[in-house]
């Protein structure tokens, strides 16, 4: 499955859109992880191993079911070969 197909499947679930509206920051984190993971061709299990966590944790983050700590997001970013960058923006 490719990234765009994955997202189409996710948007079929009405809860997914509701989570995006309620927690846009979780969505940004989830999409960044999913997109990078798909580009690398990695499974959640493989990413979990690289990040020294469990597949269940990766799944919860990608499914926006948890308020992840900066520490966890950084571990995942490093495992993906990325650098975590956080910024504040003015509300629209």
CATH of the domain at 12: 1.10.260.40
1 pLDDT above the threshold of 70: no
Residue at 84 is within a domain:
no
- Block residue for tokens 């989570």: 19
Residue at 22 is within a domain:
yes
Residue at 33 is within a domain:
yes
User: What pLDDT was estimated at residue 17?
Assistant: 85
DSSP string, 8-31: HHHHTSHHHHHHHHH-HHHHHHHH
Express each pLDDT in 31-73 by its tens digit.
999 999 999 999 999 999 999 999 999 999 999 999 999 999 9
Beta carbons within 10 angstroms of residue 26's beta carbon = 19
Q: Which domain holds residue 41?
A: 3-79
User: What pLDDT was estimated at residue 7?
Assistant: 79
Residue at 21 is within a domain:
yes
Residues in the chain: 92
Residue at 48 is within a domain:
yes
Fill in the DSSP letter of residue 54.
-
Nearest to 33 by CA among 22, 42, 21, 23: 42
| Average of per-residue pLDDT across 67-87 | 97
Count structural domains, the chain: 1
Residue at 46 is within a domain:
yes
Mean residue pLDDT across the chain:
93
User: What pLDDT was estimated at residue 16?
Assistant: 84
83 backbone dihedrals φ, ψ, rounded to 5°: -115, 135
């Amino acid at each position: 499955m490719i990234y765009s197909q994955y997202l189409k499947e996710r948007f079929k679930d009405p809860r997914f859109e509701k989570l995006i509206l309620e927690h846009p920051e979780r969505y940004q984190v989830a999409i960044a992880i999913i997109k990078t993971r798909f580009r690398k061709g990695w499974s959640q299990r493989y990413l979990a191993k690289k990040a020294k966590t469990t597949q269940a944790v990766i799944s919860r983050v990608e499914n926006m079911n948890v308020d992840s700590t900066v520490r966890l997001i950084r571990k995942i970013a490093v495992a993906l070969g990325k650098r975590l960058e956080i910024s504040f923006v003015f509300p629209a």
